[in-house]
Amino acid sequence: MSADRSDGQGRGGLFRSLAHRLSGDTRALPDEGRLGSFDRATGWLGTEPLTTESLRGRVVLVDFWTYTCVNWLRTLPYLRAWDAKYRDAGLTIVGVHTPEFGFEGDPVNVEAHSRELGVEYPVAVDSDYGVWNEFANHYWPAVYLADAAGRIRYHHFGEGEYAMTEMAIQQLLAEAGATDIDLDLVDVRPEGLEVAADWTSLRSPESYLGYGQSSGFASEDRALYDRAHVYEGSAGLPLNGWDLAGDWTVARHAAVSNAPGGRIAFAFHARDVNLVMAPSTRGRAVPFRVFLDGQPVGDARGSDVDVDGRGVVDTAGTYQLIRQPGPIGDRVFEIEFAEGGVEAYCFTFG
């Protein structure tokens, strides 16, 4: 996942630097090559299969995403707003869903989360990375913007640059002959996981729990990979260190709880704590409870827990567990599962 936090200049500076584009001067948006092919998509949502030829004549914004990526989730309010504002003026957004985790390759999961997230523009399901490779892409999220002739004229990787991206959309629509374009930029009101990170207080990195990419695991022991083991947990953790307690199997893809009472602790410094997790079997619901510094979370609860810090893992996705309202400092987060059968993939912070 990418975590680019640049949001560019203020609106006035951006408008001054880009206003000439809407008068026909296109030198600031160079030709970056042809739009990649969608032919290797494994499926489509919300449309018949699209091709570069069928999209000719429209401005096309290609957005690479995967539904657990918090960096992409924080861009989604802008994508929805641009689709609503500019679709009738000639913009087509094509979301390319390329999975990071195995469960994200399941088209049933992709369809369910697309519907839940309010994704109404066409989605190319890219479970085999075919479209990803056609674009030589390396990031979630990634935006490629093509003009009506099918030439890529702008790209951006990661979060931010929303004003710059929208004004590039406006320029390419004007070049394509759109008139009466509203030059005001969209005003979004994100909630939950879609709220931008508090970059000024963020001191904790994305951290994977499967041994394929893990770092900071206090009890890491290669000899215990891929086998059940009862971990004791650590009495104290350094900042950005984490540990397990209880019966777990640390696999390449995730840490998998095997019995009731499994716990994960993480020493962090951030406003938000999110955790990608899933029930080990579809349809199972596993209760959990979260704590801060050993106490109930109270008003620091995230959107996926109640005031007592209780929640349920019943689908594969990103769960927001902590959103602190006050001053941010070094804290210890803990989550305890009432039953076994949960796969914990990755912590993200905001």
How far lies 191's CA from each of 11, 31, 74, 184, 303, in Å? Answer: 22, 36, 9, 22, 9
- The pLDDT of residue 29: 86
Cα dihedral 4, 8, 10, 12 sign: negative
- The pLDDT of residue 32: 83
Say what the pTM is.
Answer: 0.90
Among 169, 8, 178, 145, which residue's Cα sits nearest to residue 63?
Answer: 145
What are the helix (H) ranges across the chain?
Answer: 11-18, 70-73, 76-86, 107-116, 130-134, 162-175
Residue that is written with structure tokens 């005003």 in the block: 187
Averages of pLDDT over each 10 residues, the chain, 350 residues: 39 41 56 93 97 97 98 98 98 98 95 97 98 97 98 97 98 96 96 96 98 96 98 95 98 98 98 98 95 95 95 97 96 98 98
End-to-end Cα separation, the chain, in angstroms = 14
* Delimiting residues of CATH 3.40.30.10 domain(s) in the chain: 11-194
- The pLDDT of residue 11: 36
Rounded Cα distance between 43 and 84, Å, is 24
Angle at 303 between CA 270 and CA 313, to 5 degrees: 105
- The pLDDT of residue 1: 52
DSSP 158: S
Q: Tell me which CATH code domain 207-349 carries.
A: 2.60.120.260
Among 134, 126, 158, 156, which residue's Cα sits nearest to residue 143?
Answer: 156
CATH 3.40.30.10, applies to 11-194: yes
Rounded Cα distance between 88 and 98, Å, is 27
DSSP 151: B
Rounded Cα distance between 82 and 185, Å, is 9
- The pLDDT of residue 188: 97
Exposure b/e, 68-81, CB count within 10 A at least 16 = b? bbbbbbbbbbbbbb
Among 203, 213, 227, 238, which residue's Cα sits nearest to residue 332?
Answer: 238
Phi, psi (5° rounding) for residue 16? -65, -35
Phi, psi (5° rounding) for residue 275? -140, 125
* Delimiting residues of CATH 2.60.120.260 domain(s) in the chain: 207-349
Exposure b/e, 189-216, CB count within 10 A at least 16 = b? eeeebbbbbeeebbebebbbbbbeebeb
- The pLDDT of residue 346: 98
Per 3-state DSSP, the chain is made up of helix, strand and coil in percentages (nearest 5) of 20, 30, 50
DSSP-derived pairing of the beta strands 123-125 and 91-97: parallel
- The pLDDT of residue 98: 98
